Amino acid sequence: MHSLTQEIKSFSRTNLRKQCTRVTTLSGKRMIETWKDARMQVVEVADCADGEACGYVQDLSLDLQVGVIKPWLLLGSQDAAHDMDTMKKYGVTHVLNVAYGVENAFPQDFIYKVIPILDLPETDIVSYFPECFEFIEQVKLKDGVVLVHCNAGVSRAAAIIIGFLMHSEGLSFPRALSLVKNARPAICPNPGFMEQLHKYHQCKNKNNGNLNDPE
């Protein structure tokens, strides 16, 4: 079990990156998550000024594009997870929410698993794999359809699915990355996650002697 408080406190100030993430609450308020002195600050904003970058999502349009990795495994943003029409369109039954501070929109309609993960290069994303993979595999066994999402659906959720494909399908990191990117072109795991996924591939390759899908 992870303690976000402990994880946050473990970061040194010099290691923290300047970054902000846009979050839209269920009430329609737009918030910006920023980091300062190892503490998260959430500020309500009306809009971003022209030309100002606010995390990965830099426009006000909803991102409802869903990456179909498998018929039962989907990747998307919080916008897709908060749009009932989109959820019904893809037959979603379960939701794996790996964002920080994003509410579950339809708790009466879908089965949720919430694993808050910080989108920072220093976050040990691999340590969250077992819990995430177990939930995804349970959904598959139940013939359900799971949507994995974070805030923008480009870093945390993408890294989890890439890792899952390497774990469950025996794919190499390049192959898994390519498959997920083809399904959802916007994905871009942060540099720390990319490095960890590459090492995860090397570790699996060493333990298994050979992956089914070589580089």
Token pair 């540099």 is found at: 191
Nearest to 19 by CA among 100, 81, 76: 100
Per the annotation, the verdict on 150 as an active-site residue is yes
Q: What 8-state DSSP symbol labels residue 59?
A: S
Contact 119, 20 (CB under 8 A): no
In this structure, the number of other CB atoms found within 10 A of the CB of residue 108 comes to 5
* Residue 158, Cβ density class (10 Å: 0-12 exposed, 13-18 middle, ≥19 buried): buried
**CA-to-CA dists, residue 145 to 46, 95, 204, angstroms:** 35, 8, 27
The span from the CA of 178 to the CA of 175, in Å, is 5
Helical (H) or strand (E) element with 169: helix 156-169
Helical (H) or strand (E) element with 86: helix 84-89
Given 54, 132, 150, 188, the catalytic residue: 150
The span from the CA of 176 to the CA of 108, in Å, is 33
Active site residues: 150
